Amino acid sequence: MGAAKIVQLILYYTLTVVGWIVSFVANQIFAKIYDKKARVVPPVEDDVMLLSAVALAEKIRTRKLKAVDVMKKYIDRVTNLHVYLNTVIARRFDEAVAEAEALDTELDKNPQDDKFSVKNKPFLGVPLSVKEAFSVKGMPNASGLVSRKHYRSDADCPVVERLRESGAIPFCITNVSELCMWYESANRLYGRTNNPYNTSRIVGGSSGGEGCNLASGGAVIGIGSDIGGSIRMPAFFNGIFGHKPSRGLVPNDGQFPIATGKDIELLSTGPMCRYVEDLLPMLKIMSGSNKQADIECKVDVSKLVIYNVIDDSGSLLVAKVDPQLKQAQAKVVHYLETTVGAKVINKSFSKFKYAVDMWGAKMTTSGGTSFCQYMGYGGKPVNPFIEFFKWLFGKSNHTLPALGLGCVEKFDRILESTGVNETSLLGFEKLEAEMNEVLDDNTIIIYPSHPKLAPYHNQPLLYPFNWAYTGLFNTLGLPVTQVPLGLSKEGLPLGVQIVAGMNRDAVCLAVANKLAKAKIAGWVNPGTNEM
């Protein structure tokens, strides 16, 4: 063993031990601050609110339920939960009730009309929740930025428009992290959102309000977007289904901040929901009818080859995977191998540990609008160093993570100007080629959704790179479903990611379906143990 290797090993173990001690002590402190105040939201009791969106639509179509009654139930739930969660930050309750009433009137006149069929209106009368970053006519489109407080959208973005055409009725807008760039949803405009399973915990970000609203029973389907895990992390921390579609499958237009330059390759807009059967119809609608054929193909899960990847092969920047998450993943793999008959291969990919660097390299070499420009919306780009100084005295309109990212960006731009081609330097192309080879039509990867269970508020600052587990697949542009796997012994959601080859979204969804049928995967009603 060479001297360099010995130094490397010593460094590795020293950092590991120091990291462990720091996080243990910090955990005690966070527990002291937050545990006494922690609550779980009351469970959803109403059977109508325990129906999937497609089942709700069917009952409305066959006039067993009135759209307006369903809407009012959800409005009540959202209103009652606000004190616990602070997740819905804008409402169009009156408009939504009026739209539901108009639908009921029309339906009562001619329920058999083909325009109300499953094919034309799969989400007939279903209440829809939307992440604030998306434009919904008349609603704020600020992305939690104080300087955009008064901004109102003048039109619906394409995904909202498509879901509306499918019968869904948007009724509430949910919280995000500042400019959608952190994994805790808190900002100076709307405040902080709490986890429905334990209000001392984060909801994730950036689609954190969405994850929380769905998990707490404040809605049944919702829209999120994902540039580094912004659908999958909230889906994981709140125990629901979330799908990041293949690159380019669903239009990203009409959201703020919109990815520009090559960043757009990292961003995917996708469905979030409580019930697995809603994922495929949502994805079909959101992607537009011309892409439906790609999604619909039949998948035989028993014929799949599954690469079981239990961690990122040891990045020093990222926390170790929680043992309870490992156990949950092992259970999934065991079921797919023994009961379903799929072929399982245990595998590690050494390049996964460079996920943070690869994601960062993609982001900075993309030449899009800079984050500091976005922060300074309507004025000069924000100087993150000066703004940080103001923050110290409680005088900034920005959050600490946003300012941190602004500083990182400044350093990255300096690096970039030196002409370093990080993308090739880090072997990204090699990883991409390896993935293309491994992920043929019948192969998936199963990978942790995140290394840790939902942390306490502010605790993500101690683990600024844990999103690497999700961000990896943004750099690769692959389709991924985060599947909820019940609750941990502390009552926090567990989950795992199902990754398939490019444009093989149907494979992810088929596996999620299989796991849900076996009751291994599914949403748990808060305050109960029922999946």
Ligand X SMILES: *[C@@H]1O[C@H](CO)[C@@H](O)[C@H](O)[C@H]1NC(C)=O
The answer to whether the bond into 493 is cis (omega within 30° of 0) is no
**Alpha-carbon radius of gyration of the chain:** 22
Nearest to 353 by CA among 200, 468, 215, 473: 468
Binding site for ligand X (CB under 6 A): 31, 35, 38-40, 86, 89, 135, 141, 146-147, 153-155, 190-191, 198, 200, 254, 256, 308, 310, 330, 346, 365, 390, 395-397, 421, 423-424, 429, 490-491
- In the complex, the smallest distance separating the C-beta of residue 198 from ligand X, rounded to whole angstroms, is 4
- In the complex, the smallest distance separating the C-beta of residue 385 from ligand X, rounded to whole angstroms, is 14
Pairwise CA distance, residues 3 & 398, whole Å: 46
Edge-first strand order for the sheet with 305-308 is 88-91, 169-174, 127-131, 221-226, 268-273, 241-244, 480-487, 493-499, 443-448, 305-308, 343-346
Pairwise CA distance, residues 308 & 321, whole Å: 14
Instruction: CB nearer to ligand X: give 120 or 424.
Output: 424
Quickly count: other Cβ atoms within 10 Å of residue 380's Cβ: 8
Residue 167, helix vs strand vs coil: coil
- In the complex, the smallest distance separating the C-beta of residue 231 from ligand X, rounded to whole angstroms, is 20
- In the complex, the smallest distance separating the C-beta of residue 270 from ligand X, rounded to whole angstroms, is 19
Quickly count: other Cβ atoms within 10 Å of residue 241's Cβ: 29
- In the complex, the smallest distance separating the C-beta of residue 310 from ligand X, rounded to whole angstroms, is 5
The DSSP symbol for 528 reads S
Cα angle for residues 90, 93, 94 (degrees, 5° grid): 130
Tokens of 189: 């405009």
Chain residue whose CB lies nearest ligand X: 191
Pairwise CA distance, residues 477 & 75, whole Å: 36
Residue 279, helix vs strand vs coil: helix
Nearest to 133 by CA among 298, 39, 267: 267
Tokens of 65: 């339920």
- In the complex, the smallest distance separating the C-beta of residue 19 from ligand X, rounded to whole angstroms, is 20
Bridge pairing between strands 443-448 and 305-308: parallel
Instruction: CB nearer to ligand X: give 35 or 113.
Output: 35
Instruction: CB nearer to ligand X: give 188 or 410.
Output: 188
Pairwise CA distance, residues 81 & 360, whole Å: 37
- Which residues have a catalytic role annotated? 131, 206, 230
Pairwise CA distance, residues 379 & 186, whole Å: 23
Tokens 């984060």 sit on residue: 202
Cα angle for residues 289, 262, 449 (degrees, 5° grid): 70
8 A C-beta contact, residue 403 and residue 396 = yes
Pairwise CA distance, residues 179 & 156, whole Å: 19
Instruction: CB nearer to ligand X: give 308 or 513.
Output: 308
Instruction: CB nearer to ligand X: give 68 or 453.
Output: 453
Instruction: CB nearer to ligand X: give 229 or 257.
Output: 257
**Cross-strand bridge partners of residue 255:** 134
Instruction: CB nearer to ligand X: give 275 or 456.
Output: 456
Instruction: CB nearer to ligand X: give 197 or 275.
Output: 197
- In the complex, the smallest distance separating the C-beta of residue 148 from ligand X, rounded to whole angstroms, is 7
The DSSP symbol for 186 reads E
- In the complex, the smallest distance separating the C-beta of residue 289 from ligand X, rounded to whole angstroms, is 22
Pairwise CA distance, residues 74 & 68, whole Å: 10
